[in-house]
């Protein structure tokens, strides 16, 4: 019994002695394992810092990079980029804004085209109006000239020495004599060939060959500058310069002025004064034109002169 008890105590004592060593051994094993785990973790961290980003992302146990996590700041500079539905919405908005801009640009271009068409239509209408006025003026000049070169009854224009020339020319041709001349040139002797030259030039007026008539009367005055029919030639040049295809107002003014200055007693002076008023009116000198009209009325109105009546009618219509 004593021996068994001694054996039991001895065994217990041995166990008690061995037990602390076992605990120390287990603790040492635990410490070694933890140290190895920390060492392994530090090695992995070092490896992740040195390895490329794509290798780190493939390690399921490694530390994930910060950029893979959603941003936590909502500031303007740190806002996350749009993705998924947000990107689609942004793209749709950009497309809609682009379409809206294109539509606005097309509308603006359409408005500009409409304005340009309106401007061109206005120019066409204005030019058409000017053309109508030119046609009317041209027709008026032709009618006026035809009235002056036509055979009319005595008195009125005939007394002014304008249209009666047609009858005088016709009578002279039938009687094989020279045509009559206006007052102020009757005392001038007729030069050989003068009457025929004047008759040929005046025939061009009657046939409305105005450009040829201008050349014929200018040639007549070069040959017979002081001839018996020189006043008539100056008058018809003044008339013709107003009705040719390209009117020459200055040449017309010079022709009428020369007639008035050199032959103040000529019967064509009242008509020349009236025509000078028209020339200055067409040149834009309204006041100077009015002076000529008033002069005709003042000097020849009491004689029932046609030029005076025409001057008064012109004043009533334009002043």
Write the pLDDT tens digit of every residue in 80-103: 554 555 566 566 666 776 777 788
Q: What's the chain's length in residues?
A: 319
Per-residue model confidence as pLDDT tens digits over 121-135? 888 888 887 777 776
Regarding pTM above 0.75, the answer is: no
CA distances from residue 154 to 32, 45, 111, 171 in whole angstroms, order as listed: 153, 134, 66, 14
Q: Are 202 and 169 in contact (CB under 8 A)?
A: yes
State how far the Cα of 270 lies from the Cα of 273, in Å rounded to an integer.
5
In a domain, 32, yes or no: no
Q: What is the pLDDT of residue 230?
A: 95
In a domain, 220, yes or no: yes
Per-residue model confidence as pLDDT tens digits over 150-208? 433 333 333 334 444 544 444 444 444 445 455 456 567 788 899 999 999 999 999 98
End-to-end CA gap in the chain: 169
Kindly state the helix (H) or strand (E) to which residue 285 belongs, with its residue range. Answer: none
**% of the chain residues with pLDDT over 70:** 56
Residue spans of beta strands (DSSP E) within 130-222: none
Average pLDDT over residues 42-69: 58
Higher-confidence residue: 153 or 215? 215
State how far the Cα of 315 lies from the Cα of 294, in Å rounded to an integer.
9
Residue showing tokens 């408005």: 111
In a domain, 26, yes or no: no
| DSSP, res 172 | H
State how far the Cα of 205 lies from the Cα of 212, in Å rounded to an integer.
9
pLDDT of 287 > 90? The answer is: yes
How many other CB atoms are found less than 10 A from the CB of residue 237? 25
Residue showing tokens 């034109």: 289
Q: What is the pLDDT of residue 148?
A: 57
In a domain, 211, yes or no: yes
Give the chain's mean pLDDT: 73
**% of the chain residues with pLDDT over 90:** 37
State how far the Cα of 2 lies from the Cα of 194, in Å rounded to an integer.
195
Kindly state the helix (H) or strand (E) to which residue 14 belongs, with its residue range. Answer: helix 2-50
User: Residue 223 is part of which domain span?
Assistant: 141-318
Domain count, the chain: 1
Per-residue model confidence as pLDDT tens digits over 101-117? 788 889 888 889 988 88
In a domain, 178, yes or no: yes
Q: Are 311 and 293 in contact (CB under 8 A)?
A: yes
- Burial of 72 from C-beta contacts in 10 A (0-12 / 13-18 / 19+): exposed
In a domain, 98, yes or no: no
In a domain, 94, yes or no: no
Q: What is the domain-level CATH number for residue 183?
A: 1.25.40.10
In a domain, 204, yes or no: yes
């Amino acid at each position: 019994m004593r021996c068994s008890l001694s054996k039991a105590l001895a065994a217990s004592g041995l166990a008690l002695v061995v037990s602390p060593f076992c605990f120390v051994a287990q603790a040492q094993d635990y410490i070694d394992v933890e140290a190895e785990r920390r060492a392994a973790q530090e090695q992995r961290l070092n490896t992740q810092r040195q390895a490329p980003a794509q290798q780190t992302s493939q390690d399921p146990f490694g530390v994930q990079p910060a950029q893979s996590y959603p941003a936590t700041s909502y500031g303007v500079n740190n806002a996350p980029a749009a993705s998924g539905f947000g990107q689609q919405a942004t793209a749709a908005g950009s497309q809609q804004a682009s379409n809206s801009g294109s539509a606005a640009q097309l509308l603006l271009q359409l408005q500009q085209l409409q304005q340009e068409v309106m401007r061109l239509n206005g120019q066409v209408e204005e030019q058409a109006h000017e053309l109508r006025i030119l046609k009317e003026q041209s027709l008026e000049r032709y009618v006026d000239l035809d009235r002056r070169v036509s055979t009319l009854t005595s008195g009125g224009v005939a007394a002014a020495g304008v249209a009666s020339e047609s009858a005088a020319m016709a009578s002279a041709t039938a009687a094989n004599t020279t045509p009559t001349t206006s007052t102020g040139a009757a005392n001038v002797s007729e030069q050989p060939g003068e009457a025929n030259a004047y008759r040929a030039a005046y025939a061009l007026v009657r046939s409305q060959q105005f450009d040829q008539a201008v050349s014929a009367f200018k040639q007549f005055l070069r040959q017979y500058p002081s001839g018996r029919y020189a006043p008539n030639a100056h008058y018809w040049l003044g008339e013709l310069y107003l009705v040719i295809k390209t009117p020459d107002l200055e040449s017309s003014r010079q022709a009428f002025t020369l007639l008035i200055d050199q032959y103040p007693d000529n019967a064509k002076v009242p008509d020349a004064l009236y025509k000078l008023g028209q020339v200055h009116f067409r040149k834009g000198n309204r006041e100077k034109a009015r002076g000529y009209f008033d002069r005709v009325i003042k000097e020849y109105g009491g004689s029932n002169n046609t030029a005076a009546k025409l001057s008064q009618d012109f004043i009533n219509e334009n002043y």
